[in-house]
Structure 1
Amino acid sequence: MIKLQLKRIARKPSYTIGKLFVDGVYFCDTLEDTDRLDKGMSATEIATKKIPGQTAIPEGTYKVIVNTSPKFKRLLPRLVNVPGYEGVLIHRGNTAADTAGCILVGENKQVGKVLNSTYYEERLVDMLKHADNISIEIV
């Protein structure tokens, strides 16, 4: 079992910065779309507040699987049963324009960006691809 935890630390008007932990150990920084949803919202409530492609997923705990992304054609971690969302992945990218609701991994060394994201995506996939039970808690 592997437990991921994403701690959102900077909620800005156009993006959200966080820190990703793997089994309690800091792994990398994250970048998401704007955090505008409240924990525990129903799919109906989410639909009224969500701006498609510009809204971070709600806080909560989700099952994660690793499978081949039809869009990216490579193995990626996928969050399962996120209310109001489909196809939420953890992947490489640099700015909020690259997220579309997904979680980007990298190093937050520039305002509003994560860098070296390919390295962190590949490391994360290697850590997770053979795990039986993966979850992510977003706080």
Structure 2
Amino acid sequence: MELTLTRTTKRKGCTLGVLVVDGKEMCDTMEPTWRDLKKERKVKGCTAIPEGRYPVVITLSPKFGKWLPLLLNVPFFEGIRIHAGNLPADTEGCILVGEYNEETRQLECSTLYVRLLKQLIVEAKERGEGVWITVK
């Protein structure tokens, strides 16, 4: 299964994007501020992950106490998850999923999209497929 996160808006304070699953648009995303880590320093808890292609697994998150998608081998980062949240303050580097509301500047229906994404990942793994995310 192939996930693609295309960043569409890089604002001071947050980065917005669109998540596509196997060629079909699924939802919007929110991350911390994007920084070019080749030129800038990472700001702990306030920096989006670098562009790249990463394997995805589902593991039990010690922080959230839930089974959540985890991105592996992310340079300069550890514990990058895809999880629910509404505002940039809800992420320290992870990817939030949901429906972005421009008026309120927050994600809505986030828990629903995490649940749907987890189901798709589990089904792909049961079929013996690898799951990857490309962030661009």
TM-score normalised per structure 2: 0.91
Instruction: State whether residues 92 and 118 of structure 1, in contact with CA within 8 Å, keep that contact through their aligned partners in structure 2.
Output: yes
Deviation at residue 37 of structure 1 after TM alignment: 2.3
| Other-structure match for 1:124 | 117
Q: Distance in 2 between matches of 1:7 and 1:78?
A: 18
TM-superposition CA deviations, 1:72-121 (whole Å, max 9, x none):
11111100010000000000000110110000000001353211100000
Residue 3 of structure 2 aligns with an amino acid whose one-letter code is L
Identity %: 43
Report how many aligned residue pairs link the two structures: 131
Instruction: State whether residues 55 and 101 of structure 1, in contact with CA within 8 Å, keep that contact through their aligned partners in structure 2.
Output: yes
Structure 1 alignment gaps of length 5 or more: none
TM-score normalised per structure 1: 0.89
TM-superposition CA deviations, 1:30-55 (whole Å, max 9, x none):
000000125xx4xxx7xx61101000
Instruction: State whether residues 37 and 56 of structure 1, in contact with CA within 8 Å, keep that contact through their aligned partners in structure 2.
Output: no
Instruction: State whether residues 96 and 112 of structure 1, in contact with CA within 8 Å, keep that contact through their aligned partners in structure 2.
Output: no
Residue 80 of structure 1 aligns with an amino acid whose one-letter code is L
What's the C-alpha RMSD, in Å, of the aligned pairs?
1.4
1:135 and 2:128 matched:
no
Deviation at residue 70 of structure 1 after TM alignment: 1.1
Please give the residue correspondences for 1:1-139 in structure 2 after superposition, counting only pairs within 5 Å.
2-38=1-37, 41=38, 49-110=41-102, 111-130=104-123, 131=125, 132-139=129-136
Q: Secondary structure at the match of 2:132?
A: strand
Residue 17 of structure 2 aligns with an amino acid whose one-letter code is G
Structure 2 alignment gaps of length 5 or more: none
Residue 134 of structure 2 aligns with an amino acid whose one-letter code is E
Q: Distance in 2 between matches of 1:15 and 1:3?
A: 24
